[in-house]
């Protein structure tokens, strides 16, 4: 596996004191790093039927939409509150540094669609958990999830159901 970790910058005390922010900017700017990151994110699902890749706003859009292109599936955005026109379905959740609400278009997915949930970082796990709950509320079947970075110390994986595969490229 390529050394993605060298393309992720640690920024101490951003966006607030005590948080070490994982900056994916250098990874996105590196054509080989970004391409091999997408290849690695897609790899576990090669033989799995997937109807759509769902990315969480905003950094999950970058990886999720590139994966959807590579997998030849549709892409469905899970957006922060107030961005999508009605009708929407939404869920509230807590973040490592705040709280938020995620929404999906009520007609965004056919019932029973097999979807992958994608984000850049798994920290406390609140966002990924909210994404899963939202997709299930919308009638989709979450068959797996992928993140680029998992911050092990924050134990976000504990909030994720063991029965659904969750793949992380990098552990910090």
Ligand X SMILES: Nc1ncnc2[nH]cnc12
Ligand Y SMILES: O=P(O)(O)OC[C@H]1O[C@H](OP(=O)(O)OP(=O)(O)O)[C@H](O)[C@@H]1O
Residues forming the site for ligand X (CB under 6 A)? 19-22, 96, 121, 123, 151
**Cross-strand pairs, 105:** 88
Is 59 an annotated catalytic residue?
yes
Contacting ligand Y (CB under 6 A), which of 42, 96, 104, 140? 96
Q: How far is the CB of 79 from ligand Y (least distance, A)?
A: 10
Residue of 59, 101, 157, 167 marked catalytic = 59
- Mapped onto helix, strand or coil, the DSSP state of residue 3 is coil
User: Does 127 sit near ligand Y (CB under 6 A)?
Assistant: yes
In the complex, the smallest distance separating the C-beta of residue 171 from ligand X, rounded to whole angstroms, is 13
* Nearest distance from C-beta of residue 111 to ligand Y, angstroms: 26
- Rounded to whole angstroms, the Cα distance separating 21 from 147 reads 15
Residue 85 is encoded by which pair of tokens?
């026109």
Q: Which partner in ligand Y, ligand X, none is near 8 (CB below 5 to 8 A by kind)?
A: none
Residue 167 annotated among the catalytic residues of the structure: no
Sign, Cα dihedral of 154, 79, 138, 149: negative
Residue 141: strand pairing partners: 114
Contacts with ligand Y: how many residues (CB under 6 A)? 19
Burial 72-86 (b: 16+ CB within 10 A, else e): ebebbbbbeeeebee
Closer Cβ to ligand Y, 107 or 118, answer by number: 118
């Amino acid at each position: 596996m390529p050394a993605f970790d060298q393309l992720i910058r640690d920024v101490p005390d951003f966006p607030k004191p005590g948080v070490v922010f994982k900056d994916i900017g250098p990874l996105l700017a590196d054509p080989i790093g970004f391409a091999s990151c997408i290849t690695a994110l897609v790899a576990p699902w090669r033989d799995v039927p997937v109807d759509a890749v769902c990315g969480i706003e905003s950094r999950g859009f970058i990886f999720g939409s590139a994966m959807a292109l590579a997998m030849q599936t549709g892409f469905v955005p899970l957006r922060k509150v107030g961005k999508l026109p009605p009708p929407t379905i939404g869920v509230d959740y807590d973040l490592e540094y705040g709280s938020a609400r995620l929404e999906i278009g009520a007609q965004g997915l056919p019932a029973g669609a097999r979807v992958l949930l994608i984000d850049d970082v798994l920290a406390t796990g609140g966002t990924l958990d909210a994404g899963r709950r939202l997709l299930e509320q919308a009638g989709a079947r979450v068959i797996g999830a992928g993140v680029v970075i998992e911050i092990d110390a924050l134990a976000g994986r504990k909030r994720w159901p063991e029965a659904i595969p969750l793949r992380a490229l990098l552990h910090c």
